[in-house]
Amino acid sequence: MPHVYRCTLELHDSLYYATREIGRLYETEPVLHNYALCYALGLVDSAKYATTVGEDHSYRYFCPEQVPMYEAHLTPLNQQGIYITPARAVRHAAVLNTWKYADNRYHVEMQKTQKNIPSFGRAKEIAPESQFEFFAISQQPLTFPRWIRLGKWMSKAEVAVKELSTPKQNSAREFAFPYPLNPLDVMFTNQVVSYDTINMPPVSLIRNVRMVGEHYTFEGLKETLKLPVNMEYRFSN
């Protein structure tokens, strides 16, 4: 049976990434994508997949190209039997920051300009002390960093981990899973009956899911937790 960990993140900085853009408002959804968590937890060895031969680039400090390589980076986790679910907010608050900028084309292209019209935008961020929760499933014991960084500003977050009791695998039947899921990772092995969509790049997530399929249960928990079996990273062609 796999090792299953319940992981909690607590933000020590405000967290920003643009889930959606509404005019001048850039909004951060209180959900963490499982792709982002894999990179933040240090599970992706991006240096192995450097685009320039002979150079050892890591996405932690340097990105030579603005081209996503999710399939190349995350497929090795399937081979290692490691899967990270998206994270939901246990508690959170939002902060709204306004930024301004001016027309400074003459600084860049040496263009003459008669105007210096300021513009502005607003970023809705997740406030410090907000908490998120997700699950990690691994065929071998995993160690986790205590501190990670997330989002556009590389915001600092603290990781707390608790390993759950040995899971018991149950036969295929209908069950509910209140945490967010990546639909590409579950729909090939489970029949999804109903869900709500969270529109966010690079793959929209689903939550409040009801599905039919095999699942794990755990003893000693205050709540009933049914975790889908056979989740792994899959990618649309």
Query: What is the full per-residue pLDDT of the chain (237 aa) written as tens digits?
Result: 899 999 999 999 999 988 888 888 888 999 999 999 999 999 986 444 443 333 344 555 556 667 788 999 999 999 999 999 999 999 999 998 887 765 555 455 555 555 555 577 888 899 999 999 999 999 999 999 999 999 988 999 999 999 999 999 998 889 999 999 999 999 888 899 999 999 988 899 999 999 999 999 999 888 889 999 999 999 986
Provide the number of structural domains found in the chain: 1
User: Per the domain annotation, does 100 fall within a domain?
Assistant: yes
Please tell me the predicted confidence (pLDDT) of residue 223: 87
- Other Cβ atoms less than 10 A from the Cβ of 212: the count is 13
Please tell me the predicted confidence (pLDDT) of residue 87: 97
User: Per the domain annotation, does 8 fall within a domain?
Assistant: yes
User: Per the domain annotation, does 32 fall within a domain?
Assistant: yes
User: Per the domain annotation, does 233 fall within a domain?
Assistant: no
Residue range(s) defining the domain that contains residue 197: 3-228
User: Per the domain annotation, does 12 fall within a domain?
Assistant: yes
User: Per the domain annotation, does 70 fall within a domain?
Assistant: yes
Residues 6+ apart with CB under 8 A from 6: 133, 135, 161, 162, 163, 164
**Of 36, 33, 37, 5, nearest to 225 (Cα)?**
5
First-to-last alpha carbon distance for the chain, in angstroms, is 31
CATH number reported for the structural domain that contains residue 114 in this entry: 3.30.70
Please tell me the predicted confidence (pLDDT) of residue 111: 57
- The Cα-based distances of 145 to 17, 38, 205 in angstroms read 22, 12, 25
Please tell me the predicted confidence (pLDDT) of residue 42: 93
Q: What is the pTM of this model?
A: 0.84
Q: In one letter, which amino acid is 199?
A: N
User: Per the domain annotation, does 107 fall within a domain?
Assistant: yes
**Of 205, 207, 213, nearest to 183 (Cα)?**
205
Please tell me the predicted confidence (pLDDT) of residue 212: 94
User: Per the domain annotation, does 235 fall within a domain?
Assistant: no
